Amino acid sequence: MEKTADASRNLSLEESWGYDRKTMDYIRHAAAHGLYEIRGLGAKRKLPHFDDLVFLGASMSRYPLEGYRERCSTRTVLGTRFARKPVELEIPVTIAGMSFGALSANVKEALGKAATAMGTSTTTGDGGMTREERNASKILVYQCLPSRYGFNPEDLRRADAIEMVIGQGAKPGGGGMLLGQKVNPRVARMRTLPEGIDQRSASRHPDWTGPDDLAIKIRELREITDWEKPVYIKVGATRTYHDVKLAVHSGADVVVVDGMQGGTAATQGCFIEHVGIPTLAALREAVEALEDMGMKGTVQLVISGGIRTGADVAKALAMGADAVSIGQGMLVALGCNSGTWTDSGGRHQDAEADYRTLGTLPGYCHHCHTGRCPVGVTTQDPELEQRVTPETGAKRARNYLRTLTMELATIARACGKQDVHHLEREDLAALTVEAAAMAGIPLAGTRWIPGKA
Amino acid sequence: MDRVSFDLATTPLREINAFLHRAPAETESRTVILDRPGGVHNLAVGMAHDWRVTVHGHVGYYAAGMNQTAEMEIFGNAGTGLAENMMSGRVVVHGFASNAAGASAHGGLLVIGGDAGLRCGISLKGGDIVVGGSVGSFSGFMAQAGRLLVCGDAGDALGDSLYETVIYLGGHARSLGADAREEPMTEPDYQEVESLLARAGGNFCTVDPGRFRKIVSARSLYHWNANANQEY
Ligand code: SF4
């Protein structure tokens, strides 16, 4: 309408595709500041994803399970290759590594409580293990990161599994970042850093450089913990086929692959949107690598990066993952990008003004790096962090995990499976040529997988 | 003398590490002798009790890794990551140490009689490192706390992106890293150097504290700076 009205006034309104208003805004911003944009969360652009797959479901040729009566197992065991005590989970949905520092202590505790109630694990992050999280979380995965902030043998022995972090999907090849406003006295102490500095973590591990060194490093961690704990290797999705092979060679019990939709608390926007490959493609490459090595089932595969729904979980499992890991989805469950937060009396409080202060609105926020999270999720501010209490946070996170699990089981039963891990590629069809090619799943209604004969 | 010894040529590493992980009994000797290590990796990692371990020969990667409380003396050379992430205690190698010696150590004292390789004291978090010889490039990279004392020279980019670690250098550095700068030695610095040398013991006691220079962080990378023109 507007356009016609303008056109009638003879205005020329031919927008450029290459230099659209978003691009020109970006250039003007760059010209004004001489500095790239830093932001949180993951890739925002549209990518081929699990949405582009559907399940075929049982009918004549396959027999469904009774949806509401027959049992469908969701039990998941990770770390069966070398560890004396593998991680045993009730559900194949785990909570991804997010640092104390990026998240508040309340949020870490809430996630731990929710995971414990659902029989799954949480993961520490850059900055070490907090008391709150260890106490709340029955199964806790302890990350070994390039920065080694707060890394120590006591927490290592207290952990249930160890995750060697090579990279993350939002920024494969980049290190952590925590801006000064989030480096409060406790965070600074845990990381042995001066308060309030803009902290940029290393992207390379200090004491190993390649896969052969890593193999020795992993044996060191196993020796220290008397070969009890599973060792995961987490990689950001890039050359996934080769990375997974090298991770297996280095002695991983579990490989975690994080696609480019995976989130972060802070990094360069250009990194988030332009480095790494989509989760869908990375998952197929990872499964192929394990199959080619004859390691499928021996080394478990965890996929993360944009897993939001029970259907996403089911599709990931059908493609060959053993479990998924969720970060951003958990934050949204806790209130990320919601217009309100809930006070101690259970009343909803409007947060819009706080979003406006950050220069955004509910639904568009990616300002985790500022430490001024309007809903109290990614903050170290003593006032803001009260907006998520461990109890309310735990309830929401638990409900979200429960919903995902119910959806997953619903789909598995419809496909005639008594165990969600019995979902298989043959249960899937692709809706787009891109998804068919990346996932290695035939385009619906055909037998065609692009790239395969 | 009451002591335990193991021959690495005939005893599996797992057995020795398991032995060193338990707390010694009240009356038990703390002294453990390890012979013929043959460059084995991960020797005596994760000790958390007051063992006193002597190794006769060369060790591989990560010897005494994550050490707490225990003491270890190596009559030989050490591979990559010697005493990495040490929390407390004391590790002495009389020969050379390879790359990343004392990486991310939170506490304790690491003494290297000979030279150390690249990245000595990288990400140091509070431990002290004393090196009799020289260190390779990128030593003290992003070191956060603790002291790195080098009697000899340093390679390129010494103290790159330093935080609060103080580096004392007896010889010359081929170059200093980004944000590292020399500052004048003060009286407390000379006392620190003297006490580090005294704690290292042996020949270190005869080294003159007067020849050291001090390298610290210029702290210009501590804060995000829009005008930094990609210098970080
Ligand atoms: S609402 Fe909070 S958690 Fe969500 S994007 Fe904004 S700052 Fe980050």
Q: What is the ipTM of this complex?
A: 0.95
- How far, in Å, CA of A41 to CA of A422, rounded? 32
CB-nearest partner of B222 from A152, A192, A198: A198
Q: Domain map of chain A by residue range?
A: 50-333+390-439
Lowest-confidence range among A61-65, A150-154, A216-220?
Answer: A61-65
- How far, in Å, CA of A116 to CA of A347, rounded? 27
- How far, in Å, CA of A36 to CA of A23, rounded? 14
Query: Of B91, B17, B157, which is closest to residue B102 (Cα–Cα)?
Result: B91
Average pLDDT over residues B70-78: 98
Query: Of B105, B103, B145, B143, which is closest to residue B120 (Cα–Cα)?
Result: B103
Statement: residue B1 has pLDDT above 70? no
Statement: residue B139 has pLDDT above 90? yes
> Can you say whether residue B202 is alpha, beta or left, with left for phi > 0 and alpha for psi between -120 and 50 degrees?
left
Statement: residue A330 has pLDDT above 70? yes
Reported as a pLDDT band with limits 50, 70 and 90, residue B227 is very low
Residues 6+ apart with CB under 8 A from B139: B116, B118, B119, B120, B121, B122, B148, B150, B154, B155, B158, B159, B167
Average pLDDT over residues A43-68: 90
Q: Which ligand 1 atom sits nearest the alpha carbon of residue A337? A: 1
> Can you say whether residue B64 is alpha, beta or left, with left for phi > 0 and alpha for psi between -120 and 50 degrees?
left
Tokens of B168: 């004392």
What tens digit of pLDDT does each residue of A349-372 get?
Answer: 999 999 999 999 999 999 998 989
Per-residue CA distances from A117 to A292, A398, A410 (Å): 37, 7, 21
pLDDT of residue B224: 66
Q: Compute the distance from residue B5 Cα to the ligand 1 centre, in Å.
A: 58
Q: Compute the distance from residue B232 Cα to the ligand 1 centre, in Å.
A: 27
pLDDT of residue A3: 53
| Geometric angle at alpha carbon B154, from B104 and B116, rounded to 5° | 55
Domain B4-217 belongs in CATH node 2.160.20.60? yes
- The response to whether residue A103 sits with its C-beta less than 6 Å from ligand 1 reads no
pLDDT of residue A35: 83
Say how far residue A271 (Cα) sits from the centre of its chain.
Answer: 16
Lowest-confidence range among A94-98, A194-198, B134-138?
Answer: A194-198
pLDDT > 90 fraction of chain A, expressed in percent and rounded: 75
Rounded to a whole number of angstroms, the distance from the CA of A72 to the nearest CA of chain B is 41
Say how far residue A395 (Cα) sits from the centre of its chain.
Answer: 20
- How far, in Å, CA of B214 to CA of B229, rounded? 28
Closest residue to atom 2 of ligand 1, CA basis: A373
What tens digit of pLDDT does each residue of A292-315 get?
Answer: 999 999 999 999 999 999 999 999
Average pLDDT over residues B199-208: 94
Statement: residue B15 has pLDDT above 70? yes
Average pLDDT over residues B20-30: 94
CB-nearest partner of A224 from B66, B226, B227: B66
Contact B60 A156 (CB under 8 A): no
Statement: residue A434 has pLDDT above 60? yes
Q: Compute the distance from residue A188 Cα to the ligand 1 centre, in Å.
A: 22
pLDDT of residue A7: 55
pLDDT of residue A266: 84
- The response to whether residue A182 sits with its C-beta less than 6 Å from ligand 1 reads no
8 A C-beta contact, residue A441 and residue A130: no
pLDDT of residue A281: 98
What tens digit of pLDDT does each residue of B187-201 get?
Answer: 999 999 999 999 999
Domain A50-333+390-439 sits in CATH at 3.20.20.70
Question: Which residue has better confidence, A179 or B45?
Answer: B45
| Pocket-testing residue among A104, A375, A379, ligand 1, by greatest number of atoms within 8 A of Cβ | A375
Average pLDDT, chain A: 93
Statement: residue A348 has pLDDT above 90? yes
- The response to whether residue A337 sits with its C-beta less than 6 Å from ligand 1 reads yes
8 A C-beta contact, residue A161 and residue A87: yes
User: Looking at the complex, does the CB of residue B29 fall below 8 Å from at least one CB of chain A?
Assistant: no
Tokens of B72: 């270890």
Reported as a pLDDT band with limits 50, 70 and 90, residue B226 is very low
Average pLDDT over residues A118-138: 93
Statement: residue A186 has pLDDT above 90? no
Task: Output the DSSP codes for A214-276.
Answer: HHHHHHHHHHHTTT-S-EEEEEESSSHHHHHHHHHHTT-SEEEEE-TT---SSEEHHHHHHSS
Q: Domain map of chain B by residue range?
A: 4-217
Average pLDDT over residues A424-449: 97
Say how far residue B59 (Cα) sits from the centre of its chain.
Answer: 15
Residue with tokens 């003593």: A382
Statement: residue A34 has pLDDT above 90? no
Pairing relationship of beta strands A38-39 and A267-268 according to DSSP bridges: antiparallel
pLDDT of residue A8: 66
- How far, in Å, CA of A362 to CA of A150, rounded? 34
Statement: residue B164 has pLDDT above 50? yes
- How far, in Å, CA of A170 to CA of A102, rounded? 15
Reported as a pLDDT band with limits 50, 70 and 90, residue A4 is low
Average pLDDT over residues A242-261: 97
Say how far residue B223 (Cα) sits from the centre of its chain.
Answer: 29
Helix and strand counts by DSSP (H, E) for chain B: 2, 11
pTM: 0.95
- How far, in Å, CA of A400 to CA of A333, rounded? 7
pLDDT of residue A351: 95
- How far, in Å, CA of B39 to CA of B56, rounded? 11
pLDDT of residue A435: 98
Q: Which residues of B touch A227 (CB under 8 A)?
A: 14
8 A C-beta contact, residue B61 and residue A215: no
Rounded to a whole number of angstroms, the distance from the CA of B202 to the nearest CA of chain A is 28
pLDDT of residue B231: 44
Average pLDDT over residues A83-91: 98
Statement: residue A453 has pLDDT above 70? no
User: Looking at the complex, does the CB of residue B214 fall below 8 Å from at least one CB of chain A?
Assistant: no
Contact B103 A206 (CB under 8 A): yes
